[in-house]
Amino acid sequence: MSITYKSDILNVSNVSALFNLKVANKQLVQTRGYSTEGIGSNLYRYDASSVATIDGGFILPGLGGTLSFSGTTFNGVAGTGRFIAVDQTIADTSMFGEIADNVTDDRNAIQRALSCGAKTITMQGGKTRFIGSTLNIPTNVTLIGLGKDASLRMTAISDLLSVSSNTTIDNISLSGPGNATYQTGSVAIAIRGTLASRVTNINIKNVTIDDFAEYAIYGEFCTNTTISKNNISNIGYAGVMILSGDTCEVSDCKISDITPGTSGNAYGVAFTMNNASTDLVATPRSIHCKAIRNIITNIPVWEALDTHGGDDILFKDNEIRNCKHGIVAGKTGVNVGALLVNAINNNITVNKNGYGIVFTNDLSGSTFITGSITGNIIKEAGIDGFSPDLGAIQLEKTIGVRVSENTILDAAGHGIVIFQKNVGALISKNSIVDPQTPDSVLWDVACVAVRSTDNSAIIDGNAFIRSGNISGKKVAVCGFLMDTTSGCEITMGQNFNSCTLPLAGTLASVVRHGRFFGQAGKFVGTGAPAFAASVGSEYTDVSGSTGTVFYINEDGTSGGWVAK
C-alpha cells in the first residue's frame, strides 16, 4: 500500500530503507541510524523534484536509488527526487557513514561531512576512527569532539588534518604512526598558506596529539593563529613550528617528549622562517608571535622555545624542564637573525645540559637582537666543564638588551656571559647564586663574565652570591670576570658580592668602577686605582711600570687608595 500522508513522520531502521519507500512529496522520514541502528540517525524530507548533488549524509538518493561512493564521489543510482536532511546547521560524522571501529578507513565518510556545507562538524566521543589519507577542513568550519576521546588515528606518513582559513579544531584526539624515527611529512595538523594567499584566523584548542614523526602542528604563512590548551607528546621534530607567521599565539599547552629530532635539532615551539632562504621578501620573518604559559618538558636533543629570524617575539610565563636548551633567539643567516625578542618570567631547569636563555645573531651581518631577559628563574643551566662560553644566559650581537631581575641558581658555568659584539647591555638586579665548574677545569667560574671583544655594558644592582662549598667544584670564584679588553667598555655600578673575588681578569681602563658592597674586593688593572671600593679592598697594578704596584683602600672612596 502506498503511503500518501504528509503530516506524520515515518520511521525506518537505516538510510538504505529510504530508497524502497513509497512516499509522497514533502514526506518526513526519521532514520534510526545510518547503517546501524543507534548510530547516525537523522530526519529527512522527501523532495520529489530535487536533483541536488548527493553528499551521502545531508542529501541522499531518492526513491529507487542506491547509495555508494568512489572516494568522495557518488557513483550509485540517484533515483527519483532526493531525501534531504531537515536540519543542516550541524553535521555529525556518524550521519555520513563513518564506521568508527579503528580498522575501517573512515576518511571518505568524514571528508563528506566536512565538505557538506555545515559550519559545525561534530564527532562523538569514545570512538577512534582510522584515517588512511589527509582530511581537508574547508574554510569557515569548526570540527569539534563531543565528550571525551573523539579520536582520529593515522598510520600513513602524511598530514592528518589540513586546515583552511577561519577554522576551529576543538576537543579531539589525534594519533599518528609513531616517532621512533624522524620522518618528513608526518604531521597532525597542517596550516599551509603561501606568500600570496595566507591562511588566517585559525583556532586549535583542547586537542591531544601524539605519535607523529615530524610535527604536531605546522604552520606556514599563517596569520591570527591561536593554539591553546593542547596536550602534545611523542613528536619526532617539533611540537609547534610556525614559519613566516604573523600574530600567532601558543598558550597553556603541555608539550613533551620531542624526539629523536633530526640533524641534532628538535623544538617545543618555534617561530621562524624557511632556513633554506635568506630572501626576506619571499620568506618573511615570523612577527608578533608569542608563547605563553606553556609547560615544555623532555626535549633532550635541542630547544624548548626558539625563534630564528623572528621579530616582536614574546616568551612569557613558560615552565621548561629537562630540555637541552631553554630559550634561544638566533639567526638563519647573514642579516636574517631575530630582531626584537622578550623572555619574561619563565621558569627553566636545564639539568646541566645546555643554555638557559641565549640571544645571538650573525656576527658578520648588520642586524642586532634587542629586547629583554627579565624575571626568569634559571636552574642548573650550562654543561659541567664544557666551555667558559656557555652560561645560564648568553648574549652575542645584541643592542640595548636588558637583562634584569633574573634568578640564576647553580649554573654549570658562568651565570651571565657577555660574549661578543654587544652594545649597551644593561645587566641589573639579577641574583646569581653558586655558578660552578668541576675542580678539574682550568678556568674560574663567574657570576657575570665578559668573554670576548667589542662589548659595552652597565652592570649594576646585582647580587653575586657564593653560599658555600661544594665537593669537587669551583663555586662562585668571581663576581665579575673579564677575559679581554679589546673594544670593550664596561661600567660597574653598586653590586653585592660574596664570591671569592669581586672582580677578576684583564680589567684595565675599560672598566669604570662603581662599588661592591658586602665584602672587600681584590682588583687588578693597569695604572693607579681611581674607583670606589669597600674598605680593605686590594688593588694590584699589572701594567709592568716601575713604582708602586699594590694598594689598599682605607676609606671606601675612589680617593681612599693608599700605596703599600
SS3 labels along 523-563 = EEECCCCCCCCCCCCEEEECCCCCCCCEEEECCCCCCCEEE
pLDDT band at 182 (very low <50, low <70, confident <90, very high): very high
Whether the pLDDT of residue 348 is over 60: the answer is: yes
Q: Are 136 and 158 in contact (CB under 8 A)?
A: no
Query: Does the predicted TM-score (pTM) go above 0.85?
Result: yes
Whether the pLDDT of residue 454 is over 80: the answer is: yes
pLDDT band at 363 (very low <50, low <70, confident <90, very high): confident
Least confident of 52-61, 106-115, 429-438: 429-438
The whole-number pLDDT of residue 524 equals 60
The whole-number pLDDT of residue 32 equals 95
Residue 81 CA, distance from chain mean position: 53
Q: Are 185 and 209 in contact (CB under 8 A)?
A: no
pLDDT mean over 145-158:
95
The whole-number pLDDT of residue 408 equals 96
pLDDT mean over 231-246:
97
pLDDT mean over 402-406:
97
Cα–Cα separations (whole angstroms), residue 142 to 120, 156, 301, 551: 5, 24, 35, 76
CA distance 495 to 511: 14
pLDDT mean over 139-156:
96
The whole-number pLDDT of residue 3 equals 38
What count of other Cβ atoms lies within 10 Å of the Cβ of residue 509?
A: 12
The neighbouring-strand residues paired with 459 are 427, 492
Least confident of 128-142, 182-196, 474-488: 474-488
Find cell 522527501 and name the residue. 46
pLDDT band at 543 (very low <50, low <70, confident <90, very high): low
- Across 382-500, the runs of DSSP E, i.e. the strands, are 391-396, 402-404, 407-409, 414-420, 422-428, 431-433, 436-438, 446-450, 455-460, 463-465, 473-475, 478-482, 489-492, 495-497
pLDDT band at 442 (very low <50, low <70, confident <90, very high): low
The whole-number pLDDT of residue 547 equals 65
pLDDT band at 467 (very low <50, low <70, confident <90, very high): confident
pLDDT mean over 223-251:
98
The whole-number pLDDT of residue 225 equals 98
pLDDT tens digits, one per residue of 89-121:
999 999 999 999 999 999 999 999 999 999 999
- The more confidently predicted of residues 530 and 525 is 530
- The more confidently predicted of residues 135 and 8 is 135
pLDDT mean over 1-20:
75
Residue 184 CA, distance from chain mean position: 19
The whole-number pLDDT of residue 2 equals 34
Whether the pLDDT of residue 133 is over 60: the answer is: yes
The whole-number pLDDT of residue 470 equals 77
pLDDT tens digits, one per residue of 373-390:
999 999 999 887 666 667
Q: Which of 516, 388, 402, 399 is nearest to 444 (CA)?
A: 388
Whether the pLDDT of residue 513 is over 90: the answer is: no
Q: Are 328 and 306 in contact (CB under 8 A)?
A: yes
Whether the pLDDT of residue 447 is over 90: the answer is: yes
pLDDT mean over 155-168:
97
The whole-number pLDDT of residue 522 equals 63
- The more confidently predicted of residues 119 and 273 is 119
pLDDT mean over 28-34:
96
- The more confidently predicted of residues 209 and 1 is 209
pLDDT band at 515 (very low <50, low <70, confident <90, very high): very low
pLDDT tens digits, one per residue of 469-492:
777 788 888 888 888 778 888 888
Measured over the CA atoms of residue 182, residue 184, residue 187 and residue 191, the dihedral's sign is positive
SS3 labels along 77-136 = CCCEEEEEECCCCEEEHHHHCCCCCCCCECHHHHHHHHCCCCCEEEEECCEEEEECCCEE
- Amino acid identity of residue 418, one-letter, is I
The whole-number pLDDT of residue 195 equals 94
Q: Are 373 and 343 in contact (CB under 8 A)?
A: yes
**Which percentage of the chain shows pLDDT scores above 90?**
68
Ramachandran angles phi, psi of 112, nearest 5°: -60, -40
Per-chain mean pLDDT for the chain? 89
pLDDT band at 448 (very low <50, low <70, confident <90, very high): very high
Whether the pLDDT of residue 351 is over 90: the answer is: no
Whether the pLDDT of residue 211 is over 70: the answer is: yes
